[in-house]
């Protein structure tokens, strides 16, 4: 039975009115109708859809909640990485950041740089994907490359439009695809309500609004997420197809016209003096906002200049977070003990009288090393100032000497490892004592946890409690032993059921064939992080070639310095590590090989491909550059060696001409490559 035309028309009218009301409420902050009137519109639309289910579409305002989460969260691959920001804590550090950018751009000190300053919202970063104006998926930041798909939970947030709004002077053509990035947060009022209700029913009390927002986004029941009344400010863009933006300020203006909430406290600043005034002003007034901020994000306004500056590793050069000083409190040092890290580093830790710092109860704080204890003269029984460094790691800032009574006792660093009893050693030029015993229980546990971590072999379900039991009872003495574990052995662990045990064993089996970069990182070589692992995997292509590389060969690899090269060679020369590699091979660990440089023809050269290539696929062309020792980039700058222009090349070709960068046709690139 067909739906009467007047019913269809009324449903369309109601949908349009509700979307317009949402736009005025969230984007413009100027509602024209009362909450009661809004509720009446929504109720009428719901009744029409109940009577005529054919009217229901995924974009209907009534469909924010209605589906149930199935199983665990699935991976959400970002088309363009979600980068993290470098931090500045003073005007001097902001100035140093600008001077680095001036050198990259070739600008003299008199040329002003236009910045956009935005409040740094203290919440949980998300990425929203829209296709032709419709919200299709959303995910957490995760590793920056891959997050978790939380689409159903994000749909419950009223300030996220399910269909982009068409405002005046914008037109109806939306990008074919766009990743819109923002921060999900909780207001102080909503945070207080959630904790008050939880306290009444004996539920979980959240430490701060940021944790509450992150936890709410990862609920398996979207109705629970909806009950938390999360909010969102959007502020940047990931992948975008079918539209180009000129500046950050234009981007924010467009987002607002599309129906998003953008933070109203944004300012264009000409030069760092205005930037610093903005930062100082909001440091004094941040308590008036009604939600948490932890600083100001400073961005170069021009997208063309942003592209020219590019990024370093996982952080953009064109933006920086000016972080406000952490909240500091006084407390008492009850005791000092040392911890043994996975590399054998001995770190003193202060046990404190528990105190709330920036909304989190702190009872332990790092003292870093013996030299730091002596420099600050920290003693057991002292009253000290503590803060959360970067609002993450608690640390002791200083001693309040005026409160010292004479009853305090000095802490003496141990001469032997508290875990295995081995004599401790301080390498020349280092401030940190180390345990050199490869079989030290604490080092073994640390190495197992690192090996199994998400950025390494990603063994799901193997947490600290399980790993600790496995090492204590001797089932696992090194990472290779994980691959010989049986179901019967796993079931001997406390609180270990067959389902969880099978899940962990399946994940261990799957990890045998992780990418080479993951395994290199998992080995725990000093000075080798995730990015360095990717560089080494791309250069050498196999673990065997990396293992046989000399210090000189390693030092010649782009982004690998002499200290790192020495650390790599030292690790592979160690007999214990040689035995570990042999055991991993016997256990069937065979990492997926990666493309490797086959010559140094393009060493030091950077290529940018633009337009449509007809003889090669772009991925293949970039792979050729890497195999010949060069780098493939997505943006044109003065450091670009060649731009390879295919058919319908656009702004990148124009930028290359402006900067005097050499331009090649696709055939000229192939000729340059040769055989």
Is residue 231 a contact partner of residue 187, using CB atoms and an 8 Å limit? yes
Return d(Cα 25, Cα 22) in angstroms, integer.
5
How far is residue 466's CA from residue 43's CA, in Å, rounded to a whole number? 51
Distance between terminal CA atoms of the chain?
A: 68
Residue 607 makes CB contacts below 8 A (sequence gap 6+) with 621, 622, 625, 630, 631, 632, 633, 640, 641, 642, 643, 644, 669
* DSSP, res 242: S
- Can you spell out the DSSP letters for 254-291? HHHHHT----S-EEEEESHHHHHHHHHHHHHHGGGSSS
287, 293, 295, 296 alpha-carbon torsion, rounded to 10°: -100
Q: Is 194 exposed, middle or buried (CB count within 10 Å of its CB: 0-12, 13-18, 19+)?
A: buried
Catalytic hit among 80, 120, 189, 499: 120
Q: How far is CA 400 from CA 58, 241, 331, 374, 387, in A?
A: 60, 57, 10, 15, 14
Determine the Cα–Cα distance for residues 309 and 318; give it in Å rounded to an integer.
6
Any idea which residue has 């957490």 for tokens?
A: 140
Local structure of 454: helix, strand or coil: coil
Nearest alpha-carbon partner for 167 in 355, 305, 27? 27
CB 421 within 8 A of CB 359: no
Going by C-alpha positions, the residue among 413, 465, 463, 473 that lies closest to residue 441 is 473
Q: How big is the CA angle at 53 (ends 50 and 57), to the nearest 5 degrees?
A: 115
Give dist(CA 43, CA 40) in Å, integer.
Answer: 5
Tokens found for residue 591: 């990492």
Is 120 part of the annotated catalytic residue set?
Answer: yes
Supply the DSSP string of 293-351, one letter for each residue.
EEEEEEEESBHHHHHHH-EETTEETTEEEEEPPPPEEEEEEEEEEEEE-TT-BEEEEEE
Among 85, 83, 169, 177, smallest CA distance to 130 is for 177
Active site residues: 120
């Amino acid at each position: 039975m067909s739906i009467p035309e007047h019913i269809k028309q009324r449903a369309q009218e109601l949908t349009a009115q509700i979307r317009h009301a949402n736009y005025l409420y969230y984007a413009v902050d100027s509602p024209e109708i009362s909450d009661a009137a809004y509720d009446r519109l929504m109720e009428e639309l719901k009744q029409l859809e109940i009577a005529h289910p054919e009217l229901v579409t995924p974009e209907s305002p009534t469909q924010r909640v209605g589906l149930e989460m199935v199983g665990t969260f699935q991976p959400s691959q970002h088309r363009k990485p979600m980068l993290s920001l470098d931090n500045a804590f003073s005007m001097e550090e902001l100035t140093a950041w600008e001077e680095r950018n001036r050198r990259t751009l070739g600008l003299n000190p008199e040329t002003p740089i236009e910045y956009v300053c935005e409040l740094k919202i203290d919440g949980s970063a998300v990425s929203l994907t829209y296709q032709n104006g419709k919200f299709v998926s959303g995910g957490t930041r995760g590793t920056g490359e891959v997050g978790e798909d939380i689409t159903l939970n994000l749909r419950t947030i009223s300030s996220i439009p399910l269909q982009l709004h068409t405002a005046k002077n914008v037109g109806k053509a939306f990008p074919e695809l766009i990743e819109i990035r923002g921060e999900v947060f909780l207001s102080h009022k909503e945070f207080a309500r959630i904790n008050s209700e939880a306290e009444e029913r004996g539920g979980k009390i959240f430490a701060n609004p940021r944790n509450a927002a992150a936890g709410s986004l990862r609920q398996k029941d979207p109705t629970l997420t909806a009950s938390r009344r999360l909010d969102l400010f959007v502020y940047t863009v990931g992948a975008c197809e079918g539209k180009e933006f000129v500046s950050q300020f234009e981007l924010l203006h467009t987002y607002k016209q599309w129906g998003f909430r953008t933070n109203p406290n944004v300012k264009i600043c000409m030069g760092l003096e205005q930037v610093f005034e903005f930062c100082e002003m909001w440091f004094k007034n941040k308590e008036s906002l009604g939600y948490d901020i932890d600083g100001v994000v400073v961005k170069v306004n021009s997208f063309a200049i942003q592209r020219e500056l590019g990024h370093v590793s996982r952080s953009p050069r064109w933006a920086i977070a000016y972080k406000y000083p952490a909240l500091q409190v006084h407390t008492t040092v009850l005791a000092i003990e040392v911890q043994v890290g996975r590399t054998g580093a001995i770190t003193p830790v202060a046990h404190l009288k528990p105190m709330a710092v920036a909304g989190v109860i702190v009872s332990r704080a790092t003292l870093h090393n013996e030299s730091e204890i002596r420099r600050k003269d920290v003693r057991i029984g002292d009253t000290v100032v503590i803060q959360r460094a970067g609002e993450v790691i608690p640390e002791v800032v200083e001693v309040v000497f005026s409160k010292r009574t004479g009853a305090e006792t000095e802490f003496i660093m141990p001469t032997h490892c508290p875990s295995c009893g081995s004599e401790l050693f301080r390498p020349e030029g280092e401030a940190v004592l180390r345990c050199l015993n490869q079989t030290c229980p604490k080092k073994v546990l640390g190495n197992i946890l690192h090996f199994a971590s998400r950025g390494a072999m990603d063994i799901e379900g193997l947490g600290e409690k399980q790993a600790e039991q496995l090492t204590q009872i001797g089932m696992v003495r090194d990472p290779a032993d994980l691959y010989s574990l049986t179901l019967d052995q796993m079931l001997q662990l406390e609180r270990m059921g067959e389902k969880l045990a099978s899940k962990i064993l399946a994940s261990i089996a799957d990890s045998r064939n992780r990418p080479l970069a993951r395994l290199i990182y998992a080995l725990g070589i000093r000075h080798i992080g995730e990015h360095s692992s990717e560089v080494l995997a791309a250069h050498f292509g196999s673990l065997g070639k990396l293992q046989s590389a000399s210090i000189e060969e390693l030092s010649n690899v782009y982004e690998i310095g002499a200290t790192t090269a020495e650390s790599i060679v030292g690790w592979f020369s160690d007999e214990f590590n040689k035995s570990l590699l042999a055991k991993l091979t016997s256990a069937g660990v065979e990492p997926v090989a990666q493309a490797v440089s086959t010559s140094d023809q393009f060493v030091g050269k950077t290529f940018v491909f633009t337009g449509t290539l007809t003889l090669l696929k772009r991925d293949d062309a970039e792979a050729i550059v890497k195999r010949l020792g060069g780098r493939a980039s997505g943006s044109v700058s003065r450091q670009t060696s060649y731009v390879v222009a295919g058919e319908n090349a656009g702004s990148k070709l124009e930028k290359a001409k402006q900067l005097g960068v050499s331009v090649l046709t696709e055939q000229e690139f192939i000729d340059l490559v040769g055989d």
